[in-house]
Structure 1
């Protein structure tokens, strides 16, 4: 297998980002959510205009994981005012790390996470934080393995369904 490349996404990548975002979110959550709620979330969160706006935000960062010339995952980071919760402005939020199911276990998520940590250190963030659905045991385990600890919870709305996310953080030294 070739090396995983992590590339900073630009406006030119909006269609690839939209596609991998829809695929990975669907693969991860469609079995445990209604079709209506999934369709609403996918249509709103991965709308072209919304992604372009996020790609243009100087406080958000997108990275694509590429393997054998194919986009297999992505990372979205937020700093400052772009954070989805009002955390410390010196913190870095990992909003999304998603990998196509067929590439689970191939270190793609770990490569994306390494990019998040590198970005946090470069920006001199004091800590990284994220929200992860309490029932996404694979992701909770991944973040715990990487040194994150739970510090709170919050509600994530998927359509008309309220779900509990674990708020996790890792202090950077």
Structure 2
């Protein structure tokens, strides 16, 4: 395991394996709830987490050789606190190419924001995307999440599109961002 310069070395980041699906699902659901409680309806959040953060979904992503994930864990006790996951893109862009990758998720509990953990997770995702020869790394982010948008801008991502997404009975707007990896 590699220790990073994060949160006084309280967090370690490692490549996630097939047996990490439950940890990724837990961190994903906890982070989604923490981020959107009070913004989205509670029953919608619960249903979303049940479907979009099910361990089986993560098992499928981890089993796909075109995907990769990194798990951030506390150094003491290895509790999951965040992760990053890349996979082939499924975004509504007219210029989507075979050599694009999507940062499907980069989630981190707010207690660990500002200590470099997010930056380190992003570094792993970008380095792996470069290694795979990706033209660009794409992502979708809730258009109302100013903190996330600022983080992505600091990491070189620029707007390239929009999409709508459903959580429960409500529709929301995502910004689609891209980081150009090839000139």
Q: With the length of structure 2 as denominator, give the TM-score of the two structures.
A: 0.87
Please say if 1:106 is aligned against 2:115: yes
State whether residues 24 and 55 of structure 2, in contact with CA within 8 Å, keep that contact through their aligned partners in structure 1: no
Cα distance, 1:53 vs. partner?
A: 1.7
Instruction: Give the aligned partner of residue 34 of structure 2.
Output: 27
State whether residues 4 and 111 of structure 1, in contact with CA within 8 Å, keep that contact through their aligned partners in structure 2: no
Instruction: Give the aligned partner of residue 5 of structure 2.
Output: none
Please say if 1:93 is aligned against 2:131: no
Please say if 1:134 is aligned against 2:143: yes
Please say if 1:122 is aligned against 2:131: yes
Q: What is the alpha-carbon distance in structure 2 between the residues aligned to residue 33 and residue 19 of structure 1?
A: 19
Q: What is the alpha-carbon distance in structure 1 between the residues aligned to residue 172 and residue 62 of structure 2?
A: 27
State whether residues 13 and 73 of structure 2, in contact with CA within 8 Å, keep that contact through their aligned partners in structure 1: yes
Q: What is the alpha-carbon distance in structure 1 between the residues aligned to residue 102 and residue 9 of structure 2?
A: 29
| Corresponding pairs, count | 170
* Structure 1 unpaired stretches of 5+: none
Q: What is the alpha-carbon distance in structure 1 between the residues aligned to residue 90 and residue 168 of structure 2?
A: 17
State whether residues 21 and 56 of structure 2, in contact with CA within 8 Å, keep that contact through their aligned partners in structure 1: no
Helix, strand or coil: the match of 1:31? Answer: coil
Q: How does 1:150-165 map to 2 (within 5 A)?
A: 150-165=159-174
Helix, strand or coil: the match of 1:142? Answer: helix
* Structure 2 unpaired stretches of 5+: 1-7
Q: What is the alpha-carbon distance in structure 2 between the residues aligned to residue 61 and residue 161 of structure 1?
A: 30
Deviations 1:20-75 (A, max 9, x none): 11111111112201111101110001222222222212222221012313322101
Q: What is the alpha-carbon distance in structure 2 between the residues aligned to residue 167 and residue 7 of structure 1?
A: 27
Instruction: Give the aligned partner of residue 39 of structure 1.
Output: 46
**Equivalent residue in structure 2 for 1:58, among 50, 57, 65:** 65
